[in-house]
Each structure stands twice: as structure tokens, then as C-alpha cells.
Structure 1
Amino acid sequence: MKMSLMKKLSIGFLLAVVGAILISVFISNYMVGKKFNNYLLDEQKDKVNKIVATAQDLYDDKTGFSNFNKDELLRYAVLEELYIQVKDINGNVVFDSGNSHLQHKNMMESMMGNMMKGGMSKYSHMNLGEYKEENYSLIKNKKNIGKIVVGYFGTSYLNQGAVTFKMTLNHSFILSGFIALIFGLGVSFILAKQLTKPLVRITKTANEMRKGNLAVRSQVKSETREIQELSASINYLAETLQNQEMLRKRMTSDMAHEIRTPLTTLKTHVEALLDGIWEPTEERFQVFYDEIERLINLVNKLQNLAKLEQADLKLNSTKFNLSEELKKTISNFEPLYLKNNYTIEAKIYKDIWVYMDRDKLKQIMHNLLSNSYKYLKSNGKVVVELKEEEGICIKVKDNGIGIPEKDLPYIFERFYRTDLSRTKNTGGSGIGLTITKSLVECHNGKISVESKEKEGSTFVVWFPKEIICEDK
């Protein structure tokens, strides 16, 4: 049977409080009771020692015990509920307190009976009938002058005040435990409610997301750090899923457009040929061929992207001079740039040797330089930088049209293009940067972009220092 979190927390807190109370009461009662009993026993011994000392003081060196004041010993016997008997050196009884100590037994029996009626069964084990007598030698001036017998029942040290104190102490423990239990129950309920209430609201938000409402957000505000972080994570997840849903819909639309455009061109040209509007010339067939090639290139890029995103992507890593390789790549692009009066410049550290996949590096640079070329303005310029910064850092800067700020988070997504017109003159299929990102990440690298609209863009590619070869 499943139980709510609030109920579990309440029961857990309550059990912890009850356990703590029981342990505290048991230990406290045991320790206090033990110490108090020891204190009473010490008091009993002091009484006996005082009686012995008094009997020794009453002895007279000349008359012995014949003329001593018996009232003082009798008073002790009555007040302390003890039996006292004094014998001289010859064994003759010179003092006997009588049955005054039995009054204590009767009183204690009555007291214990009342306590048992009141629920204090703890004292029922006391043996009130156990009577003890202890013999002590009387010595004065290092001379044995007789013997004293002190008799008492086993509970004689438990006078009415001591028993009342112990009863009050036990009642205090019980009352304190009950109050602590009520307090713990209240605190456990409050804490459980504070913890579960925001979790219930977060759960409702998650359920709304599951139903497809990705615009919902968690509005939970809590002083508990973990709950606040959970709420923020749910909101981040909702925002991410919402963005991914938008990208999915846009990707579907873009893919349909990319495929439909060449198919529409082919269809209209074929219809014109079938209707006799156009003659089947070499130029017409060249158009067919170009559109078919466009479709083939699109399919190949999609296939390459799928391969790059596979977990088992293999790298053909070799050692080579990265500085020289970048210079060659830049040289290959110079004619294309010069044709449109663009400038490409290199700022490359010399002799940086690396161990990585040369072909994939070429593809990365080809995609980045082609992308910069497509969006340059008149008198456009591209600068390629290479340097060591806790690894390998490659920057491709251009002064082109830039990227709108709203598009920056999605620039590496499939088919995402900032140019929604999708004309042939302003870019390709929107897969190039996605492929570039995959190629960089398969080397454990990172790629990022900084851009301002109408000012240009800077693509930054970083590779870890593990790929650097110290020996040239």
C-alpha cells in the first residue's frame, strides 16, 4: 500500500521523537534514581555512624553505661525508625529501643499500598519485611567498651520525603514526555507540510508537462535549497522541451521546403516539356541534373549527420602540423574570396603539432569558412586565428551580417537558419554547423559563437590540450 510523502514524514518524525523521549526518560530515570538511592544509603550510613559515635560519647570512664542518658538514644531510634540495643563489655544489655522501628514498617506498607493503587507498581518489588541487624564495636580511647546493635528494615532509608520526591520525579518525567510528544507531533506535521506542499505543486507542473502543456512553469518559492533547485530544474526542463518542440516543428517545415523546392522545379519543367511549351534541350536537362544533385547532396548530408551522431564514431587520428594544415586550407579559399573582393587573413602560431583526425579538421574549417563567406558584405573580411590557450583555440572572425541574438542558442540545431526566406543566394540547407559541432565534439572539443547583428560573427573552436604533441 502506497503512502503519501506527508504521512511518511509525519510518522517518521513522530517515531524519532517518541524514540528520543523514551530513551531520554529511561536513561534519566535510571541515572537519577540510582544516584538518589546511593545518596539515601550514604545518609543511612551517616545515621548509623552518628548513633555509634553518640553511644561512645555517652560512656563514662568511671561509671560506664550505668548512669548515661538513655533518652537521647531513644530519640534517635524513634526519629530514624531504627532498633538500637547497647551492650556493655560483659554482654549485658544496657539499652533497648523496643519496637519503635516497627512503626516505620507499618507506615511504609501503607505508603506502598497507596502508591500501587495510584499506578506506581514500580515499588511493588520492595521487600518491606526484610529486617537487618548490624553489630558495631564501641571503642573509646582505644579501649573496647561494648557493642551496639542497629536494626532496620530494608527500606528504612526511604522516608516519606524521599518517596514523595521520587514519585514527583517520575511524574515529572511522564508529564515532560507527554508534552514533548505533543510538541513533536505538531512540529512533524508542520515540517512535513512545508516539505510536501511545494513538492505537490511541482508534481502538478510535471503532470501538466506530460499532458503536452510545455508553457506551464513552476511558481514554487521555498527556503529549502533542494526544493528550490528542483523547481528551477523543472522550469529549465519545460523551457528546453518547449524550445525543442519549436525546433522540431521548424525542422519539419524546413526539411519539407528543402525537398519540395527542387521537386517543384523538376515537376514544372517536366510539365512544360510534356505540354510542348519547352523543347528538350541540353540546357533544360542541365537544370534537371542540378536539381537532382541538390537533392542528392541534401540526402548525403543527412546521412553524414546521422553517422556523426552515432556513439561508435571512429576517429582516424594521426600526428600532423596543425599550423601548416590551416595555412593550406586558407590558401584553398583565397581564390573564392578574391573573386568577390573579399579578404581572408591568417594569424597562426607556428609549429603546433597535434594528434587528431586530419580529414575531420579539414571539414570543420571548410564548413566554418564557407559559412562566413556566404554572409559577408561588400569589402568583407575573415580572420582565422590559431593559438594555444589551455588547449588549442581556433577562431574564425568575419565582419558579415551577423546573427540575431534570438537565434544564437539554436544556431547549431539541424536545419536551423536565421534567414527564413531560404533563398539560394543566402546559405545552404542549415546542416553545416550541426555537422561541424558533431565533428568538434567527437574530438572532445567545444564550439561556440559570438555575434552582433550587422557587425559580424566569431566562431570559437576549442580542443583539449591532450591532442597537442610535445615532440615534433
Structure 2
Amino acid sequence: MNVKQRKPRFQGARRTGVRPILFLRSLKMELSALIVIATAIAFLVCWILLKLDLSWWIAMPLTLVVALSFTYTFSRGLTARLRQLRDVAEAMANGDYSVRVPIDDSSHDEVEQLARSFNEMAAELQHADKMRMDMIANVSHELRTPVSALQAQVENMADGVTEPTPANLESILNQTHRLSDLIAFLLDLSRMEAGAASLDIERFNFAEFLDDTIEPLEIADGGHAHIIEMNVPDGIMIEGDQDRLRQLFTNIIGNALKHSPDGTNVLVEAHEDIPHGTVVTNVVNFGSQISPDSRSDIFRRFVRAKTGPGTESGGTGLGLSIARWAAQLHGGTVQVVDDSRGANFEIVLPKYHIVG
């Protein structure tokens, strides 16, 4: 039986060469020191050979050989890091994003700083590649589920197995809504990738805006018996793009509803931070907590929120990322803050839109 051998994965370049002047913190200083030392050695060797009554024709070549040998030996230590960077870059070009440049903690020169930055970039690329693969799997699954359900229901109706009753038609409508939501998420993602930031700025009443945003969420909540409490002063006026801000609050509040047990409350409260000219909104889910280690990760694309050990939310993993994007378009922020009551998403938006 023929056994196909896999090519061993690149593990990083080996350390070669000697670096006798590691205490210097600059590559320029190391090169300067190497030149000075090589010149001094050449002068000393030449002086010794002439003292031994050797002719210039013999002393000079020997001096050059010694100086060049010294320079070559120790310069390899200086260029070894660049060779490691080259080898790792070639491995990454071949699709292996797990490779890293070995870090020398005893060195602090420019090449070592470049190696550390390179490793950070490699880690981000590895994460992006994993997220891309997860995206394909997630989107495929999210599309397949409603499409399969639609196909089965329509086929049953076409074959006369089921009747087109209002309940069956409503089920079909719900599946089409799922498809529409997913397509909207993907369109928003494409806008994020393209850096699209066109905003239709208008001034509006913030409490009325939130009330209009929450109403369809309450209807879609169905039989989960969630109660959305609003504690928002009526006089707050804010400038922004209502469509983008509706994406922001719909995703944040919808996320809170998704992670709240049936029959529990979700609190939406807001107040003006007059000294900073902002409006601060807190969406509190009383049913779960988000660990501090996960609070920044959940806003990354295709990362699904974990609300407890071994638990992971459904969905595409795009909602919170799109929410953060919408807030940033307005110069605002979204973050999870400490709250003993549950997961507390704090949204800070400027009251007035600043152009540019």
C-alpha cells in the first residue's frame, strides 16, 4: 500500500550566526560597532604581521581575510532575523498562517520589533482565515435551514399533503423573513468591508425613535413573554442616520431578548451626559452574564456570543459586529460594562453629528 507523506509544516527558521553585541538596542549601532571592531582587528592583525617582518604583499591579503571572516561570521547573526522573517513570509504565502518568527527576549533592536509586529499580523491573519472558514460554514447552514424548510413546505402543498392554511403560510413567511435577515446581514457586511459610511443625518426625538424600534421586536418575540422596560426621558434630541441607528439598537436589543429566559425583562434606559455632549443608553439583559474575557471578542465578525460555560448563541455572528460598526459611523461606541443584574450593553452616541 502506498502511503502519501505529508510535507512537514514550517516551524520557523533556525537561529544561525552569532551576535556578540546584544546589549545595543539599535541595529544601526550594532552595525556601526561591527565595523569599528572589524577595522580595529584588521589594524591589529596588519601591525602584528608587519612586526613579524612579512611583506605588504603577504600582510595585506591575510589582514583582509581575517577582517572579512570576522565580519561575515558576526553579520550572519544580524541578518538571521531577516532570513527568519523571509522564511515565515514564504510559509504564509503558501497558506500556513500558524507560523511565527521566534522571539529573542534578549534583543530589542528594530528587527526584533519588526518580528514582534510580524507575529501580531500573522495572528490576525490566522484569525481572519479561521473566521472566513467559519463564515462559509455558518452562512451555508443559515441558508440551508430556511431553504430546506421552504422547499419541504411548498412541495407538501404542491403534492396536496398539506393545505395552504394561514398557519402554514405564516410558517413560510417566517422562513422568508429569516432569509431576508441573513441577506441584509451580508449586505451590511459588504458595506463594512468596503468602508461605506454614507449617512442621512437628521434630528429626531430619541425616545420616539426607540419606541418605534422596539415595537417590531416585541411583536417578533412571539410567545417568549419578554417584557421590554423603557426608561428614556422624552426630551432627548439627537442627530444621526435613523436607519443605521435602528440597525444598532435592533441588533443589541434583539441580542438581549435572545439571551433572556422566557418571561424575564429587558431594560432599555437612557440619559444625557451633558458635559460630554453624548447620549448614553444601557440595554440590560437580566438572564445572563458575559465573561470579561469574551467582551471584546463578541464584537468581532462571525464570533457567536458565549453566555456561559459551553454555551454559544445561534445566528450568523454578525449582529453585534454590525451594531458596533453603526455606532462607529456616528462617532460612538458600544461595549459591555460590569453589572450585577446581567449583561449590560452600553451605547454612547454624540448628540450632534460632526462632519468629517
Bin of the TM-score, shorter chain as denominator length:
0.5 to 0.7
Distance 1:283 1:14, change over 3 A: closer
Distance 1:468 1:438, change over 3 A: closer
Q: Which has the higher strand share?
A: 1
Give the percent of matched residue pairs that are identical in Structure 1 and Structure 2: 26
Instruction: Write the distance in 1 (CA, Å) between the matches of 2:99 and 2:34.
Output: 38
Where 2:194 maps in the other structure, the secondary structure is coil
Preserved CA contact (<8 Å) 1:449 1:460: yes
Instruction: Write the distance in 2 (CA, Å) between the matches of 1:283 and 1:352.
Output: 42
Once the two structures are TM-superposed, the CA of residue 314 in structure 1 deviates from its matched residue by 1.6
Residue 93 (structure 2) aligned to one of 197, 210, 213: 210
Instruction: Write the distance in 2 (CA, Å) between the matches of 1:285 and 1:331.
Output: 27
- The amino acid across from 2:149 in the alignment is T
Preserved CA contact (<8 Å) 2:207 2:236: no
Distance 1:445 1:353, change over 3 A: same
Where 1:448 maps in the other structure, the secondary structure is strand
Residue matched to 2:260: 376
Distance 1:284 1:385, change over 3 A: closer
Once the two structures are TM-superposed, the CA of residue 380 in structure 1 deviates from its matched residue by 3.2
- TM-score, normalised to structure 2's length? 0.64
Once the two structures are TM-superposed, the CA of residue 463 in structure 1 deviates from its matched residue by 4.3
Distance 1:327 1:280, change over 3 A: closer
Aligned pair count reads: 297
Once the two structures are TM-superposed, the CA of residue 15 in structure 1 deviates from its matched residue by 11
- The amino acid across from 2:138 in the alignment is D
- The amino acid across from 1:329 in the alignment is L
Query: Tell me, which stretches of 5 or more residues in structure 2 are unaligned?
Result: 1-16, 18-27, 41-59, 308-312
Q: Deviations over 1:142-165 (max 9, x none)?
A: xxxxxxxxxxxxxxxxxxxxxxxx
Once the two structures are TM-superposed, the CA of residue 346 in structure 1 deviates from its matched residue by 2.8
Distance 1:187 1:346, change over 3 A: farther
Residue matched to 2:305: 418
- The amino acid across from 1:250 in the alignment is D
Query: Tell me, which stretches of 5 or more residues in structure 1 are unaligned?
Result: 1-5, 22-176, 421-425
Work out whether 1:232 is the aligned partner of 2:119: no
Residue 199 (structure 1) aligned to one of 41, 64, 82: 82
RMSD (CA atoms):
4.5
Q: Deviations over 1:213-243 (max 9, x none)?
A: 2222222204133233222222212221221
Greater CA deviation, 406-415 or 366-375? Answer: 406-415
Where 1:411 maps in the other structure, the secondary structure is helix
- The amino acid across from 1:357 in the alignment is D
Preserved CA contact (<8 Å) 1:355 1:468: no
- The amino acid across from 1:264 in the alignment is S
Residue matched to 2:343: 457
Distance 1:310 1:237, change over 3 A: closer
In the TM superposition, 1:114-193 aligns within 5 A as: 188-189=71-72, 192-193=75-76
Residue matched to 1:301: 185
Residue matched to 2:126: 242
Instruction: Write the distance in 2 (CA, Å) between the matches of 1:314 and 1:417.
Output: 28
Residue matched to 1:433: 320
Once the two structures are TM-superposed, the CA of residue 285 in structure 1 deviates from its matched residue by 3.5
- The amino acid across from 1:438 in the alignment is W
Work out whether 1:263 is the aligned partner of 2:147: yes
Q: Which has the higher contact order (CA 8 A, sep 6+)?
A: 2
- TM-score, normalised to structure 1's length? 0.51
Structure with larger Rg: 1
Where 2:253 maps in the other structure, the secondary structure is helix
Instruction: Write the distance in 2 (CA, Å) between the matches of 1:407 and 1:267.
Output: 38
Once the two structures are TM-superposed, the CA of residue 258 in structure 1 deviates from its matched residue by 1.2
Residue matched to 1:445: 332
Once the two structures are TM-superposed, the CA of residue 256 in structure 1 deviates from its matched residue by 0.9
Preserved CA contact (<8 Å) 1:372 1:382: no
- The amino acid across from 2:78 in the alignment is L
Distance 1:369 1:210, change over 3 A: same
